[in-house]
């Protein structure tokens, strides 16, 4: 059964996450289907892509599929992880990608939404970063991504507290480009997409790539890179990492010991 539906209408491609039973958790199967949909739309007539959940979703996406997080001792967000792979694909896509968000965005799905170029939310949209709740160290590219978009203080608050950011606050912070009543969101999103589709695709592609390259221009010394990797290993080698995952799967609050 497909977890991703793909549409193309008037040069606008739509990728619909359609696995409500699992709250659109980004399993490797869903990510593979999303990567395929991106490739088909990029090779076809699409000039803009909209990524959304099914209409009326209470949860846009529940983030990384916790069942697929590796056991303690292995990097939970390695370069080749399916979620990390699709983030890079969206960021590197030559097409502008709009995230149309209804409902909660959790964990790695926040990075998926923020990897899109424009974020449009309904008043029910919320953003919750969960690594500290699950005992995950997150990863350098993701943390840098959050710092760049929302600033260090807000990124710290989101990562440390794992509290939800409302649509209203996310718009004030510039994380959401627009908050639009749910009934108007589809019309608003596709009108914006249509306006973008009328502009020069080559100019847009080149400007998007320039912004990505300049935003990612953070030289890291080998020492800094190795220090970051060592810090992350402390977490994913820890008992807390295993406790976080087991608590989620066991549907009980995690009890972290800090080791």
Residues that bind ligand YXS (CB under 6 A): 22-23, 25, 59, 62-67, 69, 76, 104, 106-108, 130-131, 134, 136, 138
- If the CB atoms of residues 52 and 64 are measured against ligand YXS, the closer one turns out to be 64
Minimum CB separation of residue 197 from ligand YXS in Å reads 32
Instruction: Provide the annotated active-site residues.
Output: 64, 108, 138
Closest residue to ligand YXS in the complex (CB): 107
- If the CB atoms of residues 53 and 204 are measured against ligand YXS, the closer one turns out to be 53
- If the CB atoms of residues 138 and 190 are measured against ligand YXS, the closer one turns out to be 138
Minimum CB separation of residue 185 from ligand YXS in Å reads 20
Minimum CB separation of residue 73 from ligand YXS in Å reads 15
C-alpha 55/C-alpha 243 separation (Å) is: 35
- If the CB atoms of residues 62 and 97 are measured against ligand YXS, the closer one turns out to be 62
Helix axes 152-161, 140-150, angle to 10 degrees: 120
C-alpha 240/C-alpha 219 separation (Å) is: 31
Please name the residues in contact with 75: beta carbons below 8 A apart, sequence gap of 6 or more.
Answer: 81, 139, 232, 233, 236
Minimum CB separation of residue 199 from ligand YXS in Å reads 34
């Amino acid at each position: 059964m497909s977890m991703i539906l793909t549409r193309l209408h008037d040069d606008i491609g739509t990728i619909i996450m359609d696995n409500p039973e699992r709250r659109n958790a980004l399993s490797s199967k869903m990510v593979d289907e999303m990567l395929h949909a991106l490739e088909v739309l990029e090779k076809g007539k699409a000039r803009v892509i909209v990524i959304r959940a099914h209409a009326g979703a209470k949860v846009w996406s529940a983030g990384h599929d916790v069942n697929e997080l590796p056991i303690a001792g292995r990097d939970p967000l390695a370069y080749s992880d399916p979620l990390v792979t699709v983030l890079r694909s969206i960021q590197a896509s030559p097409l502008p990608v709009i995230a149309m968000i209804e409902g909660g965005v959790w964990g790695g799905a926040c990075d998926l939404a923020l990897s899109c170029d424009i974020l449009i939310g309904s008043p029910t949209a919320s953003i919750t970063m969960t690594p500290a709740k699950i005992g995950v160290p997150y990863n350098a590219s993701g943390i840098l991504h959050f710092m760049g978009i929302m600033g260090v203080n807000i990124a710290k608050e989101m990562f440390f507290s794992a509290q939800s950011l409302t649509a209203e606050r996310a718009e004030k912070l510039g994380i959401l480009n627009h908050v639009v009543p749910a009934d108007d969101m589809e019309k608003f999103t596709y009108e914006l997409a249509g306006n973008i589709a009328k502009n020069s695709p080559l100019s847009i592609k080149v400007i998007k790539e320039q912004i990505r390259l300049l935003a990612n221009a953070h030289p890291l010394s080998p020492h800094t890179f190795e220090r970051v990797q060592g810090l992350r290993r402390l977490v994913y080698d820890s008992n807390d990492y295993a406790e976080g995952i087991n608590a989620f799967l066991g549907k009980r609050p995690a009890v972290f010991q800090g080791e």
